Amino acid sequence: MQDLYGLPITCTRDGTREGIDDFVHGFISFQTKAANILTAAKNDPENGLANAYAAILYMLLEAPAAPKLAQPFLDNARHATDLTPREQAAVEAARLFVAGDIPKLIELCEATVSAYPRDMVMLKLGQYHTFNIGDFPAMLRIAQKAQPEAEDIAYAHGMLAFGFEECHLLDDAEAAALHALSLDASEPWAHHALAHIYLTRGQVAQGTAFLESVAHHWADLNSFMHSHNWWHLALFYISAGRIEDLLAAYDSHVWNQNRDYSQDQVGAVSLLARIEFAGVDVGDRWQDVADHIAKRGADTTSPFLTLQYLYALGRTYRPESETLLKAIEARAGDENRHDWQVWRDVALWAAHGIAAHAAEDYEDCIRFLGKALPRLSECGGSHAQRDLFEQIHLDALIRAGRTSQAQQVLEMRRTFDPEGVPLNAMLADVYEKSGLPQQAADARARVSSD
């Protein structure tokens, strides 16, 4: 048999093949049908590829329980026989993922895409992991290896676009994203890449109009892609001062999907924090987010995720924040993990800065978080997502009365958000406190004109 992209698969059952196709397409298009691989794998425990994909799906939960859930499927996959070399690579990828050997997994993904450029699962998995360690040139390199053999696959171009965008090659990113949409106007990762491009260029009106025009495509996607693309639209609402639309987006889309999933949780955390930094009262919205995050316990699956969990727990004065901070300290000392130095040299400083912010010790927040910011990309997340930590640092500067430093940061931010309503309101206040009434008036005028 063959999968939907014409790659040979060792399979004798139509139901298994359909489950494999649902996973391949669902994984790269963010559709819920990806979960159909679990039933296919359970019904065909001797199929190596189906069981490898089921193990990978469980690992994508990004939770401490994931390896245990994945292990039975991995065991089935490793006992399978007569697999093609590509299928053997998928089984090995699942094994490396469960074992936490991410550097070798990335190497395997790249080598597999080089040999089989239409293997969209290994392309997506490779980009997922290179993104999580902040190796953005590798993200781009893996995506380029799929071309030109995957020229007809819209999702390959969407992944190429995001690789370009995270390398700050915006014109190339825009061309790739638009090409993806010429093949499939509903391609959500291309929508996502264009959201990044408009944000980085400061094209708030254009970005808002584009995302609003394609938002209907996200209705039935998985919780991450639905909530995350709405999260991007909400960032434009913040800049434009559209508070009613902003809060509606949060309530109806960002925090209204899968509240137990890691990405939905950090999306809610980072958006609530940004809304507050913009001077908007969020009411009691923090409590429900913190309630769900508290259930995670001492979750140090990913530094990028964990730091945002810590912010939510600290913001709501939960005792679990101390437990999580201690877990971060322990993780930073675990030299048996491939990324322990990132935890020690970056995440640990950021964590103490976040804890200091929660304790209203803004000088310590500035000191600790300032050490982490130059290397924060190593913790994962896009530059748009990591901007949360820049904003926490900026908030500490303002609250600590460091107006000269705050002015520098705000004016640099105005290069990509020139007419931003909350940004210019902050600038007006900073200039007033700095004894620069004309500049304060100019900033207020930008708010009023909007």
The DSSP string of 131-172 is HHTT-HHHHHHHHHHTTTTTTT-HHHHHHHHHHHHHTT-HHH
Residue 373 and residue 390 in contact, taking contact as beta carbons nearer than 8 Å: yes
pLDDT tens-place string over residues 42-75: 999 999 999 999 999 999 999 999 999 999 999 9
C-alpha 19/C-alpha 427 separation (Å) is: 54
Residue 275 and residue 239 in contact, taking contact as beta carbons nearer than 8 Å: no
Residue 366: count of CB within 10 angstroms of its CB? 22
* Residue carrying the six token digits 């995050």: 293
C-alpha 424/C-alpha 418 separation (Å) is: 8
pTM: 0.97
Local confidence pLDDT in tens for the 450 residues of the chain: 999 999 999 999 999 999 999 999 999 999 999 999 999 999 999 999 999 999 999 999 999 999 999 999 999 999 999 999 999 999 999 999 999 999 999 999 999 999 999 999 999 999 999 999 999 999 999 999 999 999 999 999 999 999 999 999 999 999 999 999 999 999 999 999 999 999 999 999 999 999 999 999 999 999 999 999 999 999 999 999 999 999 999 999 999 999 999 999 999 999 999 999 999 999 999 999 999 999 999 999 999 999 999 999 999 999 999 999 999 999 999 998 899 999 999 999 999 999 999 999 999 999 999 999 999 999 999 999 999 999 999 999 999 999 999 999 999 999 999 999 999 999 999 999 999 999 999 999 999 765
pLDDT tens-place string over residues 94-120: 999 999 999 999 999 999 999 999 999
